[in-house]
Amino acid sequence: MSKAVSDVLKMAKESGVKFVDLKFMDFPGMWQHFTLPVSQLEADLFEEGFGFDGSSIRGWQAINESDMIVIPDPSTAIIDPFMEHTTLSLVCNVHDPITREKYSRCPRHIAQKAEAYLKTTGLADVAFFGPEAEFFIFDDVRYEQTNHSGFYKLDSVEGNWNTGRDEGPNLGYKPRHKEGYFPVPPSDASHDLRSEMVLAMEACGLEVECHHHEVATGGQAEIDLKFAPLVQMADNLLLYKYCVRNVARRFGKTVTFMPKPIFGDNGSGMHVHMSLWNGNSPLFAGNGYAGLSEMAMYYIGGVLKHAKALIALTNPTTNSFKRLVPGYEAPVNLAYSQRNRSAACRIPVYSNSPKSKRMEFRCPDPSCNPYLAFSALLMAGLDGITNKIHPGEPLDKDIYDLSPEEMADVPNTPASLEEALNALEEDHEFLLKGDVFTSDVISTWINYKRKNEVDAIRLRPHPYEFTLYYDI
């Protein structure tokens, strides 16, 4: 049951809260916050909000239009488990202080509009999302970039590269590359740490399904949350990241959701499961392929049709495309299948229950802004249903056994962030329906990414270029 303002005020009093932490999402996808003494927590805070400088947030206001306000959502209230002094945490929506309307570039507002648009279509009441975020747990990370030097160095006690290191003593049990899925401890050295992460999540009200080591050496992990409606799931994923990072720090470790931090081993993806429901009725269950309904097939068709543009939002970093490389572990084939994990869209077949029927988009990674990524996926699926876009024949063969002629008929994901942004620039009308995304949001996203990431990487020499070319 959602909390009312009175419930939040009661919680603060009964828990002995000293501070109130207001969190909101910036444009690229990082939680921001500031903190008030509890004396400022009054009922009108949930109506009037609290001001901040919007010009200091990436991708937002100009300096001459800098004043913005955050208005907390009482349903998101939790006691933060990581602060020394008892702190109440609230997720906020961002508003314009003059019009009082929600800010068009606020990612959470975009997600709220996506949910509202779904209901106006009459197709479904709710869209459920279930992301499977992977991450790496490291013991040490160092990096530096200057105009004449650059390096990065990662380390993990379970990294296979440390089998010969003098650790006084070295106890071995370091998973080989691509063999981390999933041996028991002591090879799985991060089991207890992941359990601590799960306990922190549960203390914050998150429902966790499982945790395990992932494929890569060097501490790759996955913790799965139970599915939830779009906005709630995006809120949950940010809280998930917050818990994972802070528990790791508490134990002297560091976590990254960077898609491809280690060369020669698996990267971190975030497979996203989706389904539409009306009340208690699952709409993706039917008598078609893999037990899917016609609606589910059209939803898949919409996601596949717009996949190249979607990837500019679901895989939004230059590093994302170190993972999305043909012939390696990531699904780059824009096709669907009921079991083939090399296909971009998969229909899980673990259960025949109608309630379990869903589609899984396997391309995304956890560097994305979940409000934008989930909203875009929903809009693509709805476009497929509205326009009856059938996805064609499934790709049930082993992709590595296909002939060159067969492979030529299977489109691939974009090869770079630049290519994905170009695709989004060409194909975004489906995102503008219902004013969910606006032209300003799309152009700001594309321009921000091109200037701050694509060009920034393009301008800098890469360390490996010295190996290839220094003596040329």
Which residues are catalytic, by number?
Answer: 53, 132, 134, 214, 222, 271, 341, 360, 362
DSSP assignment string, 23-81: EEE-SSS-EEEEEEEGGG--TTHHHH-EEEEGGGSTT---GGG-EEEEEE-GGG-EE-T
Q: Tokens for 373? A: 């990524």
The whole-angstrom separation of Cα 420 and Cα 368 is 14
- Measuring CA to CA, how many Å separate 437 from each of 48, 106, 120, 381? 26, 10, 16, 15
How big is the CA angle at 132 (ends 245 and 301), to the nearest 5 degrees? Answer: 140
DSSP 168: S
SS3 breakdown of the chain: % helix, strand, coil, rounded to 5? Answer: 40, 20, 40
Residue from 196, 415, 418 nearest 327 by CA: 415
Cα–Cα distance, 155 to 316 (Å, whole number): 25
Degrees, nearest 5: CA angle 408-380-429: 100
Cis peptide before 186 (omega within 30 of 0): yes
Contacts of 363 (CB under 8 A, 6+ apart): 269, 307, 310, 311, 314, 315, 324, 330, 331, 332, 344, 413
Inter-residue contact 100 to 88 (CB < 8 Å): no
What does DSSP say about strands 150-155 and 208-213: parallel, antiparallel, or unpaired? unpaired
Q: Is the C-alpha dihedral spanning 309, 312, 318, 319 positive or negative?
A: negative
Name the residue among 128, 134, 112 with its Cα closest to residue 25. 112
How far apart (Å, rounded) are the C-alpha atoms in residues 358 and 285? Answer: 8
Q: In whole angstroms, what is the distance from residue 464 CA to residue 461 CA?
A: 9
Contact 204, 81 (CB under 8 A): yes
H-state helical runs in 71-166: 107-121
Q: How far is CA 252 from the centre of its chain?
A: 25
Report whether 47 contacts 174 (CB < 8 A).
no
**Distance, CA of 156 to CA of 176 (rounded, Å):** 13
Which residue type does 199 have? Answer: L
| 3-class DSSP assignment, residue 266 | coil
